[in-house]
Amino acid sequence: MGKHDKDKKRVKHDQRDQRPSDKSTGDGGGHHAAKAHGQPATVDASLPASREELTRLHADARRRRTAAPYNSPEHHAAIDEIGRIEVRIADVERAMTPPRG
């Protein structure tokens, strides 16, 4: 370590302390795991309520996504369908799990 390396570290440390933190400003510049991201998911009730049927639909949608040309309308439609199915699966599983407490 050179004689002046300590001075560089001190400058970096001082600059870091002078920066406003995301928590104090509230402008949302950093990642906050506790905050919701995007829009809340809506459950598509038109999908089956059976986990087995949903799993089959999910596999079919994944096959369609894989077979479709990348970034095509079919590819995007399959991605959207996979998301809708996954949200419905989570809803079904949430209903099956007994509440805690």
pLDDT along the chain (101 residues), means of 10: 62 59 54 67 92 97 98 97 96 83 65
Kindly state the tokens that stand for 49.
């309520």
Q: What pLDDT score does 39 carry?
A: 80
pTM: 0.60
Kindly write down the DSSP assignment for every residue of 38-100, as one continuous string. Answer: SSPP---TTS-S-HHHHHHHHHHHHHHHHHSPTTSHHHHHHHHHHHHHHHHHHHHHHHHSPPP
Q: What pLDDT score does 31 carry?
A: 58
Q: What pLDDT score does 41 carry?
A: 84
Q: What pLDDT score does 97 carry?
A: 72
**Local structure of 22: helix, strand or coil:** helix
Give the position of tokens 């906050």: 32
Domain positions in the chain are 42-101
